[in-house]
Structure 1
């Protein structure tokens, strides 16, 4: 009997386990079912600028009546917040914030069901679903498994493999029953499909932790308000007062650095970033901000060394590879820079700055085809954005593909066809097509649309177009404005000098050329302007050494060789002129033929 009882009990136990397994399987939902039940509880979050234009798209998850939660990072980068479900959009306000755990509550009059919570931490291998507004394409779903639970400074984080992308921040990680187990946090990444979420249990602690941190949040809000209003001296004072109360406080140091940068105080800015790095030696963001500041101040050796250290410590951090690439690029190590740009993109395929870096490398190598291909790809990835298409048009112009550049003007997003930058590009294309009148009209329209920081470029191009029309007084006025806007740009000063020379004001052009040569004697453009101006003033003997110096610096400039033939012919140095013509023919046969027919053949010399 006892044996039979044990056997009977065993059978009951097995049956119970079987029924439990069947019950669990019955409760497990398919991806389609999870999406159908839960997608309405995840909405798009728009960060808007002062004009109400969307600058960043993210996700937010409904946790109660009129309550949502999202990731805190960079919410202060805009002027307002908006939640969007389909075509319905409502304004949102910040509620409770837990910055250490990167969780922020949003309050908005948006009706709908909250997701059921599962506060228990999941087990490794458990099937999960990520629902989010990835890449701003609309709320969608991806599937993966829990890789494990990892410890972070704020507590445990859930690591999972379901693919997410920029824009997923604030979305929902759900279990097989459609219960919320975590809030997605895209910024915490260490590699491909290595993603993290903040446990749902933290949501119950959000209000209490925010209340305990109220004084810090008030100081933070005051700092963001001053930065948003560009009150930089007041922000510097606010940061200093905060640091006096809390020496080494990270947010205060960031504000101090931002205020110093805005006020063009490079030493104070670097001191603040270095102090932040000392306070947070293991924080990737603190190190990356310091590298960026070092690069801006051309301190390449220190920037490169720190970027290498950050790459070693945070191998999956795309920005670390990108900043190392920038440092190597600036130092002329182009092959190594290319490798680092590509590693950045392997870590984050959506890092636009890395694509821009690769395109700049291609252009530095005169590989315009690669630059065009990169910007064409970005135009396809971001069809609603103007900048990729604008960059593509610029790359096509550098590749001398004016016809395709003109065609791409028709593909600018409708919302941007009347912008200052779009009219500027129309002006560039018209100028390259040999239509200076159309170029002038487009460039003046661009200025009327408010070009902001790019006005120097527009004025310079306007000056060039007016010069082509021989409307020299207007051209000189435009170029003087370009130089006034960007006095450090020697490019505009060279262009102004050439226009003054052509417009009958060669003595003024000579003064500019002599000043440029004195400031930077290693520029072929500066010596070339000096030589051309001296030729205009019939001072060929003085122009000759200036041309020779320019060609020592850049022997590939065909225009300089053409000028040298002219000067040597005028000075009776016919053999030397013939040798200069031979060099010109190697560079530009068509130009050499024109120079031969106009400067050599009339005097009876042979080829």
Structure 2
């Protein structure tokens, strides 16, 4: 009897406790597990960083740059073997690194589109939460945030340390996002980079615009790690929501609506901020004109 690779054995254990409302069949999970891989990164300051990666092209995987940020080398683990990364292309501000892994021979996943998603649509997260065994987490799309020409996906799929760089898949098993970060203090504050950014990277680097693996610590921060006015409005709004600072949220939503009048998200936030403030506070769901 042929033995299953260790990654698939670990996946079978995870599936045994998977919720009944999981959106993908077990066979789909097993097929995707072979394309969602573990990343091991020796760090410049010592120790290791652990993460996940998704095979998107022959001998190419994508992960988060915050996983490889301090790397002196990067290894992809598959079937109990380590495959050294030969080179990488990095987009640190979007927190995406495309890695070339000679001889990996992992099946690339099918690529969907974040733009095709809808709020409430079921999605599945696959990654090495905890850095050891692959886990799946069913959930749904909570919001699609406009940012940098695409839609950052907010979902209710739980993931934690080690799952960064893993995949978010739609109900057809297509990759729609790369698991990137979570905000503390909420059950549905899990965010994934849109696959459109990955496609753009693959297109821009098709002519070999890769460089050797090196620490990226001196470069810019990922968009979600910035602060103040540099931080995207949707993340500033999330912080105000968590702390129930309704008047400040109203002000931010008004400014946002004026800057991007065709975006419905600030209008929704404006209505919410108005509804949560005491009656007679003088607030309105319409922004004052100047």
TM normalised by structure 1 equals: 0.31
- Local SS of the residue matching 2:65: coil
1:194-250 CA deviation, whole Å, 9 max, x = no partner? Answer: 211122222221145569xx8xx99xx99x58x8xxxxxxxxxxx9xxxxxxxxxx8
- Local SS of the residue matching 1:80: coil
Question: Does 1:70 pair with 2:17?
Answer: no
Q: 1:282 aligns with which of 217, 226, 229?
A: 229
Instruction: Give the superposition deviation at 1:183.
Output: 1.0
Alignment partners' CA distance in 2, 1:190 and 1:210 = 38
Aligned to 1:111: 105
- Superposition map of 1:569-584 within 5 A: none
Aligned to 2:121: 126
- Superposition map of 1:190-209 within 5 A: 191-207=186-202
Instruction: Give the superposition deviation at 1:87.
Output: 1.3
1:72–1:97 contact (8 Å) kept in structure 2? yes
Alignment partners' CA distance in 1, 2:202 and 2:108 = 18
Alignment partners' CA distance in 1, 2:193 and 2:239 = 26
1:197/1:312 CA distance change after superposition, 3 Å:
closer
Aligned to 1:146: 141
Alignment partners' CA distance in 2, 1:31 and 1:41 = 16
TM normalised by structure 2 equals: 0.61
Alignment partners' CA distance in 1, 2:185 and 2:149 = 18
- Superposition map of 1:69-108 within 5 A: 69-108=62-101
Alignment partners' CA distance in 1, 2:137 and 2:97 = 23
1:82–1:90 contact (8 Å) kept in structure 2? yes
Aligned to 1:349: none
1:31–1:129 contact (8 Å) kept in structure 2? no
Structure 2 regions of 5+ residues with no counterpart? Answer: 1-21, 244-290
Alignment partners' CA distance in 2, 1:29 and 1:188 = 24
Structure 1 regions of 5+ residues with no counterpart? Answer: 1-27, 228-238, 240-249, 255-278, 285-308, 317-607
Aligned to 2:39: 45
Q: How many residues of Structure 1 are paired with residues of Structure 2 in the alignment?
A: 211
Question: Does 1:32 pair with 2:26?
Answer: yes
1:425-463 CA deviation, whole Å, 9 max, x = no partner? Answer: xxxxxxxxxxxxxxxxxxxxxxxxxxxxxxxxxxxxxxx
Q: Cα RMSD (Å) of the superposition?
A: 3.7
Question: Does 1:58 pair with 2:51?
Answer: yes
2:75–2:83 contact (8 Å) kept in structure 1? yes
Instruction: Give the superposition deviation at 1:101.
Output: 1.7
Higher relative contact order (CA 8 A, sep 6+): 2
1:98-155 CA deviation, whole Å, 9 max, x = no partner? Answer: 2222111011121121111112431111111101011112222110111121123463
Question: Does 1:159 pair with 2:154?
Answer: yes
The structure carrying a bigger helix percent of its residues is: 1
Question: Does 1:185 pair with 2:199?
Answer: no
